[in-house]
Amino acid sequence: MPKRCAVWIDHSNAFIVKFANGGEPEVEKLESGIGAIHKSTGGARAKEPYRHGSARRHSEEERRNHQLTKFYGQIVSRIKDAPKVLLLGPGLAKQELGKAIQDLPGAHKPGYEIHPAEKMSDRQLVALVRKELNVPAPL
């Protein structure tokens, strides 16, 4: 069971950093497989009157939400044994992941803290997590 754990997340990637008792980091990268949001430019007309393409937009949003839920589930399954998790990232994904942790059934849910963080390299991420979680560097 990892003693200390952190997740840097946005809607396309997640980096899970776990520290075992020896202080050596283990970094795992997960990709969501979700493409960018495509918004209409407003130049096309619907083929059917009064429809305006709302059904297509609705189904794309549902598909994206389903993919995000699956992505958050993959992350939660990897961190659910940690007593406390640090959630990092630039956007709303860290709050959405926090909600997924809250929605876990049972009494043994990991606690979590949320901190904003921009995109960074693996080494910068490990250094930040070491600092935030007070993990000493291995000798």
Give per-residue pLDDT as tens, 9-27: 999 999 999 987 777 889 9
* 120 neighbors 131 (Cβ within 8 angstroms): no
pLDDT tens digit sequence for 42-68: 656 556 665 555 556 678 888 889 999
Give yes or no for residue 88 having a pLDDT over 90: yes
Residue 65, CB-side half-sphere exposure with 13 Å CA sphere:
6
Which residue stretches of 41-121 are H helix? Answer: 54-79, 93-102
Which CATH superfamily hosts domain 4-133?
eRF1 domain 2 (3.30.420.60)
Among 38, 39, 16, 40, smallest CA distance to 29 is for: 16
Domain borders along the chain are 4-133
